[in-house]
Structure 1
Amino acid sequence: MNGIAIVVGTFHKAETERMLATAVASIKERGLELRAVVKVPGSYEKPLAVKRLLLRDDVAAVVVLGIIERGETAHGLVMGQSVSDALIQLQLEFMKPIGIGIIGPEVHPSQIPPRLHPHADAAVAAVEVMLRGAVEE
């Protein structure tokens, strides 16, 4: 019930390794079980890696980590929108939560460091809430 997998992009390797360490620690602190860590080159590869993990019986949720930095063209905006849409569709298709801890799109390099830990932790927190049952008020 509580097996979590992580998909993390390696394009910003130093930064995403910090995000990964935060997510792993957050999973352990919450009493969840880490089942797998899958590293992919960038954001466009994340939906396929997530789908492969969601097909596994021992994976109840996936946390997705990465960074989509501001570029000189609209490439990052297009990437951010298409990846977000694909991840939301996978969540609905498999009825398993996906915590999206992708910083950006359009993030400026100076904005990345203070967002690494909060985004990773929030993605884990989101799947925990959904696994335990969303609270109605």
Structure 2
Amino acid sequence: MDEAKTEKQLYEICENRTKKHALNALALLKGKTFLSEFAGKGRRQGFENEGQIKPPFEKKTKKIGLVVSEYNSDITKEMEKIVLAHSKKLNVEITKIISVSGVLDAPLAVKSLLKEKEIQGVVVLGAVIQGETAHDRVVAFTCASKVSDLSLEFNKPVGFGVIGPGISKENAVKRIKSYAKHSVESVAKMLNALEE
């Protein structure tokens, strides 16, 4: 090759051209129409280094936070265990856990986590059992509204794993697994959707 003056230059040119071809092929697979700057223009390329190629099929681990209400801890602690185990199957890492007294305290903890750059989403866990008044509805609806607003404010998903309102303790126990799994699954799915 007349472009390379040394064996080392020849190696670098070949490596860089291979990277350019690989990047163009990946771009085409993704449906993009713009390729490397001089692709298809009949110009030899190779001295420009494209850097390391990161395969698109390598899914990065998502980093999320977890907020757990201590009220009805017999339920929420079980939910926490399920979320921690299930998150591993979803390629999600729980990097920080904040315990709060009750569900109404969750929005402030959620906001604190969403402010952190490395936290990509948050899961909220709680159980609001029906009492003799409508207090359970006020608590659950207020929390749901506030964390939904925070999700939009920070443009990060928040999984709402709060069982209730209007539920008995017995029925809340029956829903531990489904609410826990769904809350972390919703965050993982949303993060994947936002990534595409």
Q: Percent identity?
A: 34
2:190 paired with 1:130: yes
Flag the structure with more relative contact order, 1 or 2, with Cα contacts below 8 A and sequence separation at least 6.
Answer: 1
Which segments of structure 1 move beyond 3 Å, counting only runs of 4 or more?
none
Shift, 1:2, TM fit: 1.1
SS of the equivalent of 1:133 reads helix
Shift, 1:86, TM fit: 0.2
2:139 paired with 1:79: yes
TM-score (norm 1): 0.95
Gaps of 5+ in 1: none
Aligned match of 1:88: 148
State which structure, 1 or 2, has the greater radius of gyration over its C-alpha atoms.
2
Alignment of 1:99-110 (within 5 A): 99-110=159-170
SS of the equivalent of 2:131 reads coil
Aligned match of 1:38: 98
Shift, 1:43, TM fit: 0.6
2:91 paired with 1:50: no
TM-score (norm 2): 0.67
2:178 paired with 1:121: no
Gaps of 5+ in 2: 1-60
Counterpart residue type for residue 118 of structure 2 = D
Q: Which has the higher strand share?
A: 1
Quick one: distance in 2 between partners of 1:39 and 1:106? 23
- The count of aligned residue pairs is 134
Aligned match of 2:37: none
Q: Deviations over 1:11-52 (max 9, x none)?
A: 111211100000001111111111111100001100000000
